[in-house]
Amino acid sequence: MKNNFTRRNFIKLSALSSAFLGLSGFTAPVSRETVLEKINDLSKSPIAKGKSVIGLTVPPIKQVKVAFIGLGNRGIEHLKLVNALAPDKAIITAICDVQKVKTDAALEELKKSGHGQKPAVYSGTLDIWKEMIKRDDIDLVIISTHWEYHTTMSIEAMRNKIHVAVEVPAAYILDDLWALVDTAEEMQVNCMMMENVCYGDEELWLLNMAQQGVLGTLTYAECAYIHNLRELMFSKDYYYNMWRIRHHEERDGNFYPTHGLGPVAQYMDINRGDSFVNMVSMSSLQASLDEYSKQIESTNEFYNRTGYKHGDMVNTLIKTAKGRNILVQHDVVTPRPYNRINALAGTKGYHEGYPSRLSLVNIDKGHRWLNEKDYKVYWDKYQHPLWTKLKEGIEKYGGHGGMDFVMIYRIIDCLNNGWFLDQDVYDGAAWSVVAPLSTISIELGSIPVKFPDYTRGKWNEFRELGILKNI
């Protein structure tokens, strides 16, 4: 598509910006206006190929037939949770992974459960998933491969009229994100990015409070993915073909924004009355991977390797149509304890996570954090009813403190009841696009860039979140 960012025109854009910034290798001057025009083109929406899937519903599916592509670290956990809902709410009809050892492990897991599920098995080649999605006994496919395959697999599944639940991020190239939106609209099927943090206990509680006006008018948020993954990134076994560190070797940017940004977007009604407008990203010095590479085994292909492109910390600042600011951080290499920050400011109150703390103007004029007793009053009053409803399953099956179970339950339950899903393809695209836009911003000297409007103007139409309506 003409107006979208691709690898090829990114090189052209980089050359233009380099000339404008006075870098070597260019003799002809390039105006600031030319550079900005190129950047602004990135935000233009192509002509729709179908109708909007906002609020898309399908006839109730009493028993959702589920298939899996990718049965590694995340895929096997999703399989366990879907299996927990069998046979009343769902059944697993097919599984796929390039490694037979993964499909064998999945079959063993299903055998242990005693539900008697015997899905068709596909493994051995990189393209074997294409055969699986041709089946006529799949309602929903759960995609948990590494990032490069998310778009292709999602699109092919949708073209076979299969609903898609895909791991985060939905895509990391602008063209791919528009392709997901266009295909969902054309085929009239769901494409939901599985942002599990939106189903966290704290996040749903804070969402409930924000939507009921406890914090007043929302003005600002901070969020993050801060998770020291250095050891896992250098592991030869944890990420298939060490795919994650290869991204750090090849590019810079806010690679994994959705864990922090997804909940914030829901607090602020993004795509439901407000919209991301523009953003700017800044990357720090890269040092952690260079230094850590000297400590790993000499047999590792990344031993003593230097020159990783991704800075240790990437900060992204987003402006919304209503004038709100959102700071998104990405740091997976420094020895900082895990943190998503989950800070939300309003005219009547402020919340900050890790640990969860709350300040309200009606208690000591907001000059202190609520004490344990006062905090518990608000925790109990605004606890999301879904957590109460699913308490037994959360305790039994867990998954990141229960959020994984709640997420899988919600996807299946919405399809069981014919409800629209909690997140749609526009949400997945808006949250994921921070990754490629941050790369552009950093490449061009931390210049502001505009967000595409995946809703094509429908973002300013308020609509209630399903997670607050259909329970």
**Among residues 153, 57, 59, 134, which one has the least CA distance to residue 93?**
134
Q: What percent of the chain has pLDDT over 90?
A: 85
Q: Which residues contact 316 (CB under 8 A, 6 or more apart)?
A: 254, 257, 279, 280, 281, 282, 327, 328, 329, 330, 434, 438, 441
Q: What residue ranges define each of the domains in the chain, with the CATH number in brackets?
A: 7-41 (no CATH), 64-194 (3.40.50.720), 198-468 (3.30.360.10)
- Residue 32, pLDDT > 80, answer no
Q: What is the mean pLDDT of residues 156-163?
A: 98
The pLDDT of residue 43: 80
For residues 99-106, give the mean pLDDT. Answer: 97
Q: pLDDT tens digits for 354-400?
A: 999 999 999 989 899 999 999 999 999 999 999 999 999 999 999 99
Q: Which letter does DSSP use for residue 325 in this model?
A: E
95, 67 Cβ separation under 8 angstroms: yes
Provide the CB-side half-sphere exposure for 220 (13 A, CA). 9
pLDDT of 1 above 60: no
Question: Tell me: the pLDDT tens digits for 45-69?
Answer: 889 999 999 999 999 999 999 999 9
Overall residue count recorded for the chain in this entry: 471
Residue 288: both structure tokens together: 């952690």
pLDDT tops 70 at residue 9: no
Quick one: 118 exposed, middle or buried, by C-beta within 10 A (0-12, 13-18, 19+)?
A: exposed
Q: What is the mean pLDDT of the chain?
A: 92
Tokens of 137: 């006994």
